[in-house]
Amino acid sequence: MKRIVFPLVVVALVSGCAGAAPNDGPTTTRLAADDPAPSTTSVTATSPRAPATTVTATTVAPSTTTTAASVPTTTQPPVAVTAPGTYDDQELVIHLQLRSEVPDVTSHDFASTALSILNDPAGWSQSGFTFAANESSDLVVVLADGPRVDALCLPLETFGKVSCQNGAVVALNADRWRGGARDWDSTVEAYRVYLVNHEVGHLIGLRHPASRCPEGARTSAAMEPQTGILQSCAGNGVPLPWEIEWASNRPAVVGPGPEWDGPRPSWP
Ligand SMILES: [Zn+2]
C-alpha cells in the first residue's frame, strides 16, 4: 500500500481533545476540540506511545474462494478487528457494536445509518477499512443523551453537549444527532456524516489535523472539529483526499485512549 509520510508535528502538550477526543466544544465554556490549549492531562512529545493493550485480530476467510488450488495468493485476507489494538496496513474489517440508548432512535436505524456512512465509497473505505456490525465486539459506537455521553467519555469532558471517542467507545450525543450543531451550515443528515466519520476516525487512530482549514479553502476536513465553529470553511464530513491517505498510512492504533499522541498532519 502506498505510504505517505506526513510531517510529525511535535507538540509539547496536547489537549484532551487530541486523539481520543471530545468532538468540539460547547459554545460557551470552551471550544474543547477547537481549543489546542492543554486540558487537565498533558503528554510530552517524548512520552512513549502507549502500548496497545490487546489485538483481537482474528483472521477471517476471504470473501471469495477459488477452486483452483494452484492459483497463488498474493494478497492477505482481511483482518477482523474487534478490540483496541494495533494494526498494520492490511485491509481491515472493523467490527462495531452499534446501539442507540435513546427512545426516539432505534438501534437498528442507528446502526443502519452509521454503517451506511462508514462504508460509503467516498469515506474511510477508500483507506482500506470496512465496518461491520457485531454485537459482541468490544468496539462500541453508542448514541446517547448528554449525561450518559459525559459518563462514557470521562476523563474527557463533553459538557452534556458534544461527542467523543474514548478508548474502545465512541459516544455520540443524541442532541447533535437529532439537530446538528448551532453553526452547522448544511443538513442534519450531512452533520451525521460528519459526526460518524469524525468520531470513528478517532477510533481508527486519527487525530485532529495540526492546522485548521486555511483561509480561502472551501471544504473542511472531516477530522477537523466542526461542531463549535466552522472557521472560514464549509462543513464537511467526507474525508478529503489527504485524509484518506493519512488513514491509509495506518498511523495509529485502534481505539486509542486519551493519552494517544499520534501524528497530526497539517493541511497540505
Ligand atoms: Zn475530534
- For 206, residues 6+ apart whose C-beta sits below 8 A from its C-beta are 223, 243, 246, 247, 251, 252, 262
63 Cα–ligand 1 center, Å = 33
Top-confidence residue, 95 or 5: 95
67 Cα–ligand 1 center, Å = 46
State the pLDDT confidence band at 23, using cuts at 50, 70 and 90: low
Give the per-residue pLDDT at 230: 73
68 Cα–ligand 1 center, Å = 47
- Residues 92-108: pLDDT tens digits? 899 999 999 999 999 99
Secondary structure (H, E, C), the chain: CCCCCCCCCCCCCCCCCCCCCEECCCCCCCCCCCCCCCCCCCCCCCCCCCCCCCCCEEECCCCCCCCCCCCCCCCCCCEEECCCEECCCCCEEEEEEEEECCCCCCHHHHHHHHHHHHCCCCCHHHHCEEEEECCCCCCEEEEECHHHHHHHHCCCCCCCCCEEEECCEEEEEHHHHHHCCCCCCCCHHHHHHHHHHHHHHHHCCCCCCCCCCCCCCCECCCCCCCCCCCCCCECCCCCCHHHHHHHHCCCCEECCCCCCCCCCCCCC
Give the per-residue pLDDT at 4: 38
Pairing state of beta strands 22-23 and 163-166?
antiparallel
Closest C-alpha among 176, 223, 222 to residue 19: 223
- Residues 43-72: pLDDT tens digits? 323 333 333 333 333 333 333 333 334 444
Give the per-residue pLDDT at 262: 86
Residue 200 has pLDDT above 90, yes or no: yes
Question: What topology does CATH give the domain 79-245?
Answer: Collagenase (Catalytic Domain) (3.40.390)
27 Cα–ligand 1 center, Å = 15
Give the per-residue pLDDT at 40: 32
168 Cα–ligand 1 center, Å = 15
Give the per-residue pLDDT at 21: 52
191 Cα–ligand 1 center, Å = 14
Give the per-residue pLDDT at 32: 35
105 Cα–ligand 1 center, Å = 23
Least confident span in 1-15, 125-139, 241-255: 1-15
174 Cα–ligand 1 center, Å = 16
CA 232/CA 220 separation, integer angstroms: 9
49 Cα–ligand 1 center, Å = 19
Which class for 189: exposed (0-12), middle (13-18), buried (19 or more C-beta within 10 A)?
exposed
34 Cα–ligand 1 center, Å = 9
Pairing state of beta strands 163-166 and 169-173?
antiparallel
Give me the amino acid identity at 226: Q
226 Cα–ligand 1 center, Å = 9
Question: What's the grid cell of residue 17?
Answer: 481533545
41 Cα–ligand 1 center, Å = 16
Count other Cβ atoms within 10 Å, centred on residue 116.
Answer: 13
State the pLDDT confidence band at 180, using cuts at 50, 70 and 90: very high
Question: What's the grid cell of residue 231?
Answer: 472557521
62 Cα–ligand 1 center, Å = 33
CA 36/CA 31 separation, integer angstroms: 9
Q: What mean pLDDT is predicted for residues 170-189?
A: 95
pTM to 2 decimals? 0.75
71 Cα–ligand 1 center, Å = 44
CA 50/CA 155 separation, integer angstroms: 17
> Are 50 and 186 in contact, with CB atoms under 8 Å apart?
no
Where along the chain do its domains lie?
Answer: 1-68, 79-245
CA 166/CA 169 separation, integer angstroms: 5
202 Cα–ligand 1 center, Å = 7
Give the per-residue pLDDT at 135: 96
179 Cα–ligand 1 center, Å = 18
